[in-house]
Structure 1
Amino acid sequence: MNILFLTLVKIKSLEERGIYTDLLRKFKEEGHNVFVVSPSERRDKKKTHLSTKDGVSILNVRTFNLQKTNIVEKGIGTLAIEYQYLNAIKKYFSTIKFDLILYSTPPITFSKVIDFVKKRDNAYSYLLLKDIFPQNAVDMKMLKEGGALHKFFLKKERRLYELSDTIGCMSEANKKYIIDHNPTIIQEKVEVNPNSIAPIETVQTAEEKRKIRKKYGLPFSRKIIVYGGNLGKPQGLDFLLETIISTINPNVFFLIVGSGTEFNRIYKWFQNKRPKNAMLVSGLPKQDYDKLLKVCDVGMIFLHQDFKIPNFPSRLLSYLEMKMPVITATDSNTDIGSIIKKNNCGYSVLSGDSESMQSAINKIVSNDEAFYKMQENAWNLLQREYTVTHSYQLIKNKIENV
C-alpha cells in the first residue's frame, strides 16, 4: 500500500522514536510505501522540500510558526496549513495513488486535504484521535462556549469525523465520549486504537545509574519520582507544586523535566521556594530524556481537574517502557488512572486531593516487594496493550475488510 501520513509533528526521519514514527516504521517494515507530510515552520527559514531516505518520502511544507509562538500566528497557521499541505501534495505527489490516509488530531483542519485525496485516489481515511478539540479549549477557558470561534471549530471537527472512515480513540473513555457527543457518527466506525510504541527493553547497571544521577545532581539513595513532558495549563501543575511542598517523606525526591507555556512560572517558583526535595530540568532531546528516565523510579501524570474530555497522555508509555510504577493525578473523566489501578502498576488520585496523593506516594516507596511487582506489571501492560504491532493490525484489518 501507499500510505500518506499528515501531521503537525516535525518529522525528519523514521529513525526517530515516537508514537507516530514507530507506527510508520512498522508499516514500512511490513512492505508498505510511506509518505509523510510534516511542517517546516517559518522560523526554520526553509522552503517546502521533498526528501527520500530508506524508501520513505518526507515532504516538509513551509508553514507559519505553529509551536511556541503568539496566539495570532498560531491561529492563522492552523487555519492556513490545510491549504499549504494541499498545494504541496498536488505538486509533489501528483502521480502517487494513495491507498490509506493516516492523520492525527491536532489539528482538526485537514478536511480539505483528506477530502481531495479520498476523491482522487479512493483512499481509506483513518483518524488517530489524540486530542478532542475544541472542547479541550473550552475546558481550559481558552475558548468561550457557544462563541463564534467555538462554533467555527465545532463545524471543522464534525467535518473531520464525517470524512474519517475509522476514528481510532486512545481509550474506552475516549470512544464513549466521541459517540455520546456526536450522535450523527456511525458507532461502528469508532474503535479503540491507543497510543503505541515499539518498546525497547533496557538493562542498566548500578554503576551506570549512579553515573547519570551524578551528572544531573540527583540523590543516590532516594526514590526519584519524575514528571516528564509538557509543562502547560492542561496539566494542572499547581497540584504538582503543592505535592512537592506537602511531601515530607525523606526517601522521596521529585524531578520535573520538560518545557511549555508554564515552564517560566515553575522556574520562578523553584527560585523562590528552593525546595530541597525537588529539581527542575529544562526539556531534553529524546535520547537524553530516555537516559534520565532510566534512573528514575516512579512516573507521575497530571491533568487539570476541570477537564470534561478524557485525555490520555502519551507520556504513560515512556514510564511503562522504563518499567516504572505510575501515579496519576487527573480529572474524573479520563480512564488512565483506572487502567493503572486495574493492572496494578500504580495508584490513581483526583487532582487536588492532597491526602490521597501523599498516601499513594508513601505506599509506592515503602514496600519493595509490591514496588518490584508493579515494575513487572508496567512492562507487561505496555507489551499487551500499547505496541505498534497492535495498532498496525487494527488499521490493516479495517482496510482488508473494506
Structure 2
Amino acid sequence: MHADIVIVGAGMVGSALALALQSLPLKIVLLDGGSLSAQPLDFQRPFAPRVSALSLASERILARLQAWSGVQQRRACPYYQMEVWDGDGTGNIQFSAADVHAEHLGHIVENDLVQDALLEQLANSPIQLLAHTRLEQLTRSQNGWQLSLSDQSQLTTPLLIAADGANSAVRRLTQAATREWDYLHHAIVTSVQTEQPHQHTAWQRFTATGPIALLPLTGQPLAGHWCSLVWSTTPEHARQLMALDSQAFNQALGQAFEYRLGKIIHSDQRFSIPLRQRHLKRYVQPGLAFIGDAAHTIHPLAGQGVNMGFLDAASLAENLIAAAQRGEQLASERVLSRFERQRMPHNLTMMGAMEGFQHLFQSDHLALRLARNFGLKLMNDTPLSKALITRQALGEGSYLPALARPLPS
C-alpha cells in the first residue's frame, strides 16, 4: 500500500496532526503503534493515572479539530489557580487566571479521554487508521520510505512523521541523534481522594528529593474530592513508597504535602515511571519529521509535555498545508525545516526553564535556599513577572500557529 503521508503513532499528538491535515487532497495513513486500547472507555471507572494539564492553546487546537466539546463531555476539570511553595523554606508563589484576565489557566484531563475524543473525530474523517498495527522495520528508498508492519504488510510513503512517543520506534530505527540524560528520578502517579476540596487549584510543593504535584480532577461520577498525583523523587525513595500498603502510603503523602488538602483518604493503584530528558538534535530530515515526545521529552514538573506536542502538530500542519498550496514538495527538507525553526527554540526554552527549576529547588545549599525563597517572594509581589510566566504556561508566550490562536468571539 502507498500513502502520501504516514503518521506513526495514533496517540493524542499524532491523532491531532492527522485531523489537522485532513483537508489536504492526499492519502494519509495513521499507524497505531500500540497506544490504542482494545476496550471501549468506561466513564464510570476510576480516574486513569496519566493526565495532562491542557493549556488554553491546546484547548483551541482541540476546539478547531472539533474534539474539545467531546473532551468536556467526558471528564475535564478546569483550574483557575496554581500554588507553588518551597517545602524547606518560606517561599511561595500563586498564579491566577484573573491576573491575566483569562477565564481559566487550563484543564486537567485524563490522556485516554483526550485520545478518545480525537478518535471520535477521526472516525468521521478521510484519514485511514491502521489500529493495533506496529512498525517493525523501516527502510529508506529512492522515493521515500518502506515500512514493514506487524501484520506482515508493507507501506510506502515519501513523507514519514514520527509521533510515536518517548520510546519512538521511528527514532530508534532511523538512529536519529539525540541529547539525553537520566534525571535519576522516578515519578509515582496515581489518583487520590483528599479530605478537603482542591479549590480548582493545581498544587505543587518542592522538596529536597523532588516536586510533589496534586492536580484537580472533576468529582463526577465519583463522590468526594479527587486529585491526580505526580510525586517525583529519587529511585530509592520511589521503591520505598511503592512498597508501602495503601494506608501507609496515604499517610506518607499527606505528611509530605503538609496536609495542604487535609488527609489522603484513598489512593488508587500506583505506577512508578523513570524520568529521562531527551531532545533530538534535528527534528527533520528529508522526508522525515518528529513531533511531540518522539522529538523531546520533558520533566512532568509543569505538565507542559503534551502542550508542546500539540503546538508541534499545529505548526507542522500549518507549514505542510501552506507548502501544498504553493505546489512545493512536502517531503523536502526545505519545507520541513520551516516547522523546525518555529518549534525548536520554543521547546528548548521550555525545557531549559524546567531544568533550571528542577536544579534550583533540589539544592539544599543554604545560600541557594535563601535565594530561591527571596526570589519566589519577590516574583509573587511583582505582577508583571507573574503575568509573563502565566502567559507562557497558557501557551501564549511564543509564536502561535493558526490552530492555537484565540478563537473568534
Q: TM-score, with normalisation over the residues of structure 1?
A: 0.29
Higher helix proportion (structure 1 or 2): 1
Q: Which has the higher contact order (CA 8 A, sep 6+)?
A: 2
Higher strand proportion (structure 1 or 2): 2
Q: TM-score, with normalisation over the residues of structure 2?
A: 0.29
